[in-house]
Amino acid sequence: MRSTTFKISNYITTDETFHFARKNLARRFPDRAHDHDFFEVFLIESGRTTQWINGVTQTLEPGQLVFIRPQDTHAFRADRKVGCQIINVMFRVETAAHLSQRYAASLGDRFFASKLPVPEPHNLGPAQFERAVNVALQLQTAERSLARIEEFLLTLTHRVADVAGRAHGAAPRWFTDACSAALSQAVFRRGAAGFIDAAGRSHEHVCRTCKEVLGLTPSEYINRIRVEHAAHLLSSDDHSIEDVAYACGFENSSYFYRLFRRQYGTSPRKYRIRYQRDPFETNLGTSS
């Protein structure tokens, strides 16, 4: 298939750092495939699509997340019966380079830093998929700033797709299943005990495996999930901070405040002021 190069300058201005799109794919392949002078990440939101990429044909379905590098040449064709809707975010090469260098220890050669011949789709569980959609949609009306795209990419790589990536080839299936279950509020509200029950193994066995695979204790892992869920609530509803903390399983407010500041570098109140959007005043159109 012949190809052409897409340019980031055709989508964003010089003072913008990313482009957001939520769109339905065409139900036929285009005349040409394309590569890019930018990176992109897309999430299959509904339907199904065939992707031709680097000479390989893939079928992608809802819940699959893919990071595309500039050198990747690809084209899409939505399923003729059910169609396909995706969320797509394009971002500059400089952003990827900065994050790859600054967070090399945790990113390694995964996600947008992957060196595989063909990018590997990340299969998200139901809770991970919901979280990915939520964090992506926050970009829809956000300022196109460097801070926002970096926050989005770090959330996506470290809080959404990290379980499958970090556990790949290293963790038993029972553990990755427990990590997916831990994204459920019914589980993470109970703290480490909920995670250990979901694993169905002894406390010692779960602690040892968690430390080996994630480098964290079960409590540290669950607290990261609980604090991130709190951040989502703070940016999307008007419940009191104490109610948000309780909804996430924190009965001690000072402990919640301490963990939140450690994870986000600011207080819950300041985070809410910065990121909360009023749905009755904000433009919720589907195009950027």
pLDDT in tens, 186-217: 899 999 999 999 999 999 999 999 988 888 89
1-129 falls under which CATH superfamily? Jelly Rolls (2.60.120.10)
From CA 115, how far away is CA 98, in angstroms rounded?
17
From CA 99, how far away is CA 112, in angstroms rounded?
10
On whether the pTM is more than 0.75, the answer is no
From CA 14, how far away is CA 36, in angstroms rounded?
17
What's the length of the chain?
288
Quick check: 123 pLDDT over 80? no
70-74 LR contacts (CB < 8 Å, sep 24+):
70/35, 70/36, 70/37, 70/38, 70/39, 71/35, 72/35, 72/36, 72/118, 72/119, 73/3, 73/33, 73/34, 73/35, 74/33, 74/34, 74/35
Predicted pLDDT of residue 130? 83
How does pLDDT run across 225-262, given as a tens digit for each residue? Answer: 999 889 888 887 788 999 999 999 999 999 999 999 98
Instruction: Tell me whether domains 1-129 and 169-288 share a fold.
Output: no
Predicted pLDDT of residue 198? 92
The fold adopted by the segment(s) 169-288 is Arc Repressor Mutant, subunit A (1.10.10)
Domain ranges of the chain: 1-129, 169-288
Of 52 and 123, the one with more pLDDT: 52
How does pLDDT run across 264-287, given as a tens digit for each residue? Answer: 888 999 988 887 655 455 444 443
How does pLDDT run across 62-115, given as a tens digit for each residue? Answer: 988 999 999 999 999 999 999 999 999 999 999 999 999 998 887 888 889 888
